[in-house]
Amino acid sequence: MKKQGKRAVDNLFDFLEIIVMAMFVVVLVFTFVFRTVNVQGQSMQDTLFENDSLVISKLLYTPKQGDIVVVNSSVLDNRIIKRIIAVEGQKVEIDNKSAIVKVNGAVLDESYIKCDGSFDERYYNKESEVYEYEVPAGCCFVMGDNRNHSTDSRVIGYVPYDEIVGRVLFRFAAGNDEGIGKVD
């Protein structure tokens, strides 16, 4: 009888040890590999909506044009979610009248945007009637998909790579009940 009781207690401790280790691994993964964030504001509509829950990661990440990223903006002293329009060494031109964005002379296919223009005038070239930005080394140029309601690189300037918290991998809970899925 004593052996059965001791064995039951040993099995219980083994089970508890497994549960504690699993919880520890989950905490480590979500601390160092993945993070979760919630969308605040309307700057990424119609791609992301208020209260959408996102999974992000920075593990082995190199910023790329088109990625949606979470940024700890030192200028705004706030966390923002934006799309990378251009990376270091690329030239951005924005025609305010047509809302056309070009990177290195190529027009971006931006079927996801809402826009009628909102730009910092110091980058305006009166001769060509476009806004021109040249992205410096170690930085990227970001914009919200809802261009009329986005405080982004047009206002805050270039975003240093080290301010990027991570790239959005997918939405796991939609604030607007549109479902779960990968964010393009």
Active site residue 82: yes
- Strand arrangement of the beta sheet that strand 91-95 belongs to: 106-107, 100-103, 91-95, 130-134, 124-125
Q: Which residues contact 171 (CB under 8 A, 6 or more apart)?
A: 48, 52, 53, 54, 55, 180, 181, 182, 183
Active site residue 43: yes
Q: What is the rounded distance in angstroms from the CA atom of residue 183 to the CA atom of residue 142?
A: 16
Give residue 161's identity as a one-letter amino acid code. Answer: Y
Helix (H, G, I), strand (E, B) or coil at 175: coil
CB-based contact 44:146 (threshold 8 Å): yes
Q: Which residues contact 125 (CB under 8 A, 6 or more apart)?
A: 131, 132
Of 64, 73, 74, 82, catalytic: 82
Provide Rg for the chain, Cα atoms: 22
Cβ atoms within 10 Å, residue 55: 17
* Options 2, 3, 43, 126, the catalytic residue: 43
List active site positions.
43, 82
